[in-house]
Chains A and B, each alone.
Chain A
Amino acid sequence: MTANTIERQSGLCRVRLDGDLTASRVPELQALLKRELDQPIEEMVVDMTGTAMLDSSGIGLLIATFNSVGRKGGRFRIVNAAPPIFQLLQSMRLVNRLNVSGTSDVEVTHG
């Protein structure tokens, strides 16, 4: 089982997936993300470095996370999406809605 890395700096949470985002992994990731949301959240960043595969369930998870974060008043971002995945999300018009970028941006800072 691949380990997921979670960095937290008070309200800012960065989740690094370390592996594919497919149906088999969804339950485990769902539980993990849900736990993170028990704490107050300002921004959640999903780092897709190392994620080569994304399937429908995986997309479902991303959207569900986005919804949940939104309910808690936080912002949601996806970074480091590999080119094929980025293209897919672009075709699906999800890049803007889920705030997806293909590269990592500046270190999470606490303003």
Chain B
Amino acid sequence: MADDLLNEFIHESREHLATIEADLLTIEEAGDNVDEDLVNKVFRAAHSIKGGSSFFGLAKVKELSHKAETVLDMLRSRKMIANAEVTNVLLAAFDKLREMINSPGESDRADVSDLVVSLTGLASSYMAPEEKASLTQSATLHAKGVPPVVISQVDLDRARRSGQCVYCVDYDLIHDIEKKGLNILKVFRELGESGEILDCFMDFDAAGTLDDTIGNQLPLRLVFATTLAPHIMPELLSIPEEKIKILFDPVAQAATPTVATAAPAPAPVETAPAARVLATAPIPTPAVEPEVPAPAAPEPRERPQASAGRGGQAESATGGGHSTADETLRVNVGLLESLMNLAGELVLSRNQLRSAIAQNDVQALPVAEQRLNQVTSDLQDAIMRTRLQPIGNVFGKFPRVVRDMSNALQKEINLDIRGKDVALDRSLIEGLSDPLTHMVRNAVDHGVETPQERTKSGKRSTGTIRIEARHEAGQVVVEIADDGKGIDPTRVADAALRKGLITPEKVRAMSEKDKTALIFLPGLSTAKQVTDISGRGVGMDVVKSNIDRLGGTVEIKSEIGKGSVFRIKMPLTLAIIPSLIVAVGEDRFAIPQVNVEELLCLRSNDVDKRIEVVGEAKVLVLRDRIIPLVRFRELLRLPSEGTVGCGSTRAGATFDEALRIVVVTTGSMQYGLAVDSFHDTEEIVVKPLGRHIKGLREYAGGTILGDGRVALILDVAGLASKAELGAAVEAARTAEEEKAAERERLEDMQSFLLFHNAPDEVCATPLETVLRIQRVTPEQVETKANRRTIQYRGTSLPLVTLSDSANVQSIGDSRELAVIVSSVRGREVGLLGCMPVDVVETRTAIDTTTHRQKGISGSVILNDRTMLIADIVELVETAYPDWGAPAEQRDVRSVAGSVTAKTVLLAEDSDFFRAQVKKYLEQDGYRVLEAPDGEEAWERLEDNAGTVDAVVTDVEMPRLTGLGLAQRIRGDDRFARIPIIALSSLAGEDDIARGRAAGVDDYQVKLDRDRLIAGLQALLPTA
């Protein structure tokens, strides 16, 4: 048993290592343009190797892979960019690993110290990215069985950009062209039409001289770039497959071992000093290279639909064989006999059909067809069964994993395995092995608590992990459950926030389930210590991507303190799936049955009731819930047909004009897909998509329907993401709306400082005018010539009181006085009042008329009391009329005044503020035009075109906001150059940026008079 496991580990590690070299070189080449998926892939490979080696006690392997993993993590988090030095070290490390894996018994004697030092050095120095190696002119390509091929870098780049493959073709002009009666001119012309000949090497020596017989052989080697797929090439060229090698394939990352270097640094074949080596190899096609290991390892470029689409490829990939052991299959003899019988039945049915057709026997046809149908299904079923393996094969290694890990962590765990006989297609079993292992390890490491923790929380000291497989509704369900401490959604969300993987707005809008699901993000690990066992948060994203690729889904159900259940659902087979066929326009599409929840047919009069618009999205009301609605036609950008659907109010709508909706589920979310019509349910054969549309997320593959037409198979999850239906989008929108509401709220808020005048008279003054407050005693107040002052920091601070100017009570005999200090006309002045003071925020309207008098600008009702609002500026004017404006200002203004006073357009919806600001402006010699909202401000601007010198505007106003007004002004040639000052209660960076973007010159917080005046002066050139 132990040997089996070890062999399996070696085998898997070899597969991982097989692709690493190519990947590292690709990563290096990308330089700053980090391909995160690829780096993740290499990282996960190193992680897997590290995990297994630790398990088997391969200390040196573990050490080296751990160090490599550290460096890769830094690449992944962009602390480091992969330059030549980094790549060289990594390549060397992985070469060494390969060596050690190949002879594990001696690996502990291997000397890895140099590499460890290098890797450590890299990691600890956080190397700054060096400059990319200067662009080379040529690239060297490798393929098995041919010497290295050099082509120009420009050509290679072009091929990659166009998604072309580069092939190396061994031709013989005589044998392959002349002897076949082909015209060489035509052959090369056709080649030119289907791709580009990048290079051609004719072997002059083989042609001989005039002394030899001419026309025996003329070998040449062609380097050809084309979008055509490998399996088409032999036909195109009319030569056998063996003569065609793939040098470069931009689509598949299924790179397999290369002929290239065993040496750590890429050995340049060319003399060009910086030639880069791109290692690729032939794609395993059924007839070619059967001994090349095909990857079961993660392929990050391929999307979930590739699993279904790989139905055909999966066959060859696994049929291609991993090692000699996997080239064969054990099949139950009884099953083979069934197959034989069915084959016989098939022949009989065929004969029946043929005879019916030949004799034009209309009665016999349906019978024959039925029989043929039945036999075909049975045959398909039986063949599928030959590929089934019991999942127990994978479960088999878990007892040991759990036992060893629980010993290491000193936990007591009981493992309960059920459903070992549940059978799955081979390729699925292989694909599940890694994810399940990760999940079991996580359950032991993070799930189940130590015995002490458990008894403390009242649980039994022995934890249980249950691994169960069962069939359910046409799928296989595998569950890994533990009765441990569960997953804390808040901790997961916090970790994600801390690592910058998600924004706070999104988190606010997420449900507990969503937060728990964040565990699948790469780069996340909630383990407090990055333990060696479960490492750097790599486990769950490996799991999810593997399972997605197999066409399955994974869900988490967890309760803090009780435990967690991970549920994986897998399709039974990849190759043939029952699907619903739908049509949009002339095209047919197949939706896998497993994704279809229900079908709806809405008549036009129902449509208004059932379809609503939320934000910008249409949603469908489905009984007790609301789900997003996607119109497939719109998504495909087809012209819409007539007025069917939303908003149609035609009376007497017929059945045909109903809106047809398929409610689909991706496992974690549902949505409605509106199509033109429904067709049958069919069992379709999944064909992989052509390489050029493979990247489209919305399609999982293609199929040929009974009538010979092609239908694309929808990937409902991919479609959802294309239509941007993610819950996150919804959440974002809600969050946006909330935010907007918040801003509005803040905008209307006004802060006041409350103080006492007479003991029972509370007054207010706008908080923004207050510089500071000082508590004083009556003794400190000095009165000279009817003017009051106090001493402050060696100077006299002039004081005013409300009673000096306004018709209010005097302060009285209060012992505790407060001096509220403001700045007026550049000088500090104190408003004398009594303690206590308080600060309040209110949105209540300010009454600017009832109590208006000199020194009082208005009143506001707070807590059922009327409070007078002190106007410090008026108070100062009354008490110190000779202050006026500073000398320079006065002179300038009098000069300007003799010409024309400048005109300011003031837009402000609050009467109170508008009155205040107007007063300030007029006091400073400006002529003021006022408007209560943006629209009216615009009208006044137009009415007074040519006379308005500046605009001072509030931001939040009805009808037209200040920013809207600014944009309009900037957009109109007549007014574009008028300076604009915006006043707002909000002055965060976002707000200021928005203001500037709208064209505002100066963005100020309400209400700083001096700053406003200064701002205007700065923007308006003085005579």
Q: Which residues of A contact B (CB under 8 A)?
A: 23, 26, 30, 33-34, 37, 53-57, 59-61, 63-68, 71, 84-85, 87-88, 91-94, 97
Contacts and interface: CB of A to CB of B under 8 A. Distances in A.
A20 B41 CA distance: 58
B188 A92 contact: yes
Interface string B195-216: 0010111101101111110110
A59 B218 contact: yes
A63 B174 CA distance: 14
Contact of B202 (A37, A53, A63): A63
19 contacts: A23-B215, A33-B210, A37-B210, A53-B185, A56-B174, A56-B177, A56-B218, A63-B204, A64-B207, A64-B209, A64-B210, A66-B204, A67-B210, A68-B209, A88-B184, A91-B192, A91-B200, A93-B202, A94-B202
Interface string B170-205: 000110011000011100110110000101111011
B208 A61 contact: no
Contacts of A53: 185
Contact of B207 (A33, A67, A91): A67
Contacts of A26: 214-215
A39 to B, nearest CB: 14
B209 A91 contact: no
B220 interface: yes
A60 B173 contact: yes
A60 B204 contact: no
Given A67-B207, A67-B209, A93-B201, A60 B185 contact: no
A87 B204 CA distance: 19
B191 A91 contact: yes
A55 to B, nearest CB: 6
Contacts of B173: 56, 59-60
Contacts of B199: 93
Contacts of A84: 185
Contacts of A64: 207-210, 212, 214
A60 B201 contact: no
Nearest to A71: B209
Contacts of B212: 64
A48 to B, nearest CB: 14
Given A64-B207, A91-B200, A55 B214 contact: no
Contacts of A97: 202, 204
Chain B interface bracket (under 10, 10 to 19, 20 to 34, 35 or more):
20 to 34
Given A60-B174, A91-B197, A55 B210 contact: no
Contacts of B214: 26, 30, 57, 60-61, 64
B188 A67 contact: no
Contacts of A63: 202, 204, 207, 218
A84 B187 CA distance: 12
Contacts of B174: 56-57, 60
A60 B200 CA distance: 15
A83 B814 CA distance: 112
Nearest to B192: A91
Contact of A54 (B184, B197, B202, B208): B184
B210 A54 contact: no
Among B177, B201, B215, the one with the most A-chain Cβ atoms within 10 Å of its Cβ is: B215
Contacts of B200: 91-94
Interface in B877-916: none
Contacts of B207: 60, 63-64, 67
Contacts of B210: 30, 33-34, 37, 64-65, 67-68
Contact of A88 (B185, B201, B215): B185
A93 B191 CA distance: 14
B535 to A, nearest CB: 52
Contacts of B218: 56, 59-60, 63
B184 A56 contact: yes
B192 to A, nearest CB: 6
A67 B202 contact: no
Query: Which residue of B207, B209, B218 has the most chain A CB atoms within 10 A of its CB atom?
Result: B209
A56 B201 CA distance: 15
A13 to B, nearest CB: 13
Interface string B146-184: 000000000000000000000000000110011000011
A56 B202 contact: no
Contacts of A60: 173-174, 207, 214-215, 218
Contacts of A30: 210, 214
B970 to A, nearest CB: 59
A84 to B, nearest CB: 6
A68 B212 CA distance: 10
A64 B204 CA distance: 8
B220 A92 contact: yes
Contacts of A56: 173-174, 177-178, 184, 215, 218
A62 to B, nearest CB: 9
A60 B203 CA distance: 10
Given A61-B214, A67-B210, 18 more contacts: A26-B215, A56-B178, A56-B184, A56-B215, A56-B218, A59-B218, A60-B173, A60-B218, A64-B212, A66-B204, A67-B204, A67-B205, A68-B210, A68-B211, A84-B185, A87-B189, A93-B202, A94-B200
Nearest to A61: B214
A92 B202 contact: yes
Contacts of B201: 93
A107 B144 CA distance: 50
A66 B178 CA distance: 21
B188 A57 contact: no
A65 B207 CA distance: 10
Contacts of A68: 209-211
A59 B214 CA distance: 10
A54 B187 CA distance: 12
A91 B188 contact: yes
Nearest to B207: A63
Nearest to A66: B204
B493 to A, nearest CB: 61
A17 B640 CA distance: 66
A67 to B, nearest CB: 5
A-B CB proximity, top 3 nearest: A56-B173, A63-B207, A56-B178
A60 B185 CA distance: 14
Nearest to B203: A63
Nearest to A34: B210
Contacts of A55: 178, 183-184
Given A34-B210, A59-B173, A63-B202, A54 B185 contact: yes
A88 B75 CA distance: 48
A93 B215 CA distance: 20
A57 B183 CA distance: 11
Contacts of A23: 178, 215
The listed residue with most B CB atoms (<10 A of its CB), out of A37, A56, A59, A85, is A56
Contacts of B220: 92
Contacts of B192: 91
A57 B215 contact: yes
Nearest to A84: B185
Nearest to A22: B178
A31 B177 CA distance: 24
B197 to A, nearest CB: 5
Contacts of A37: 210
A79 B220 CA distance: 23
Nearest to B215: A57
B218 to A, nearest CB: 5
B184 to A, nearest CB: 5
Contacts of A66: 204
A91 B218 CA distance: 16
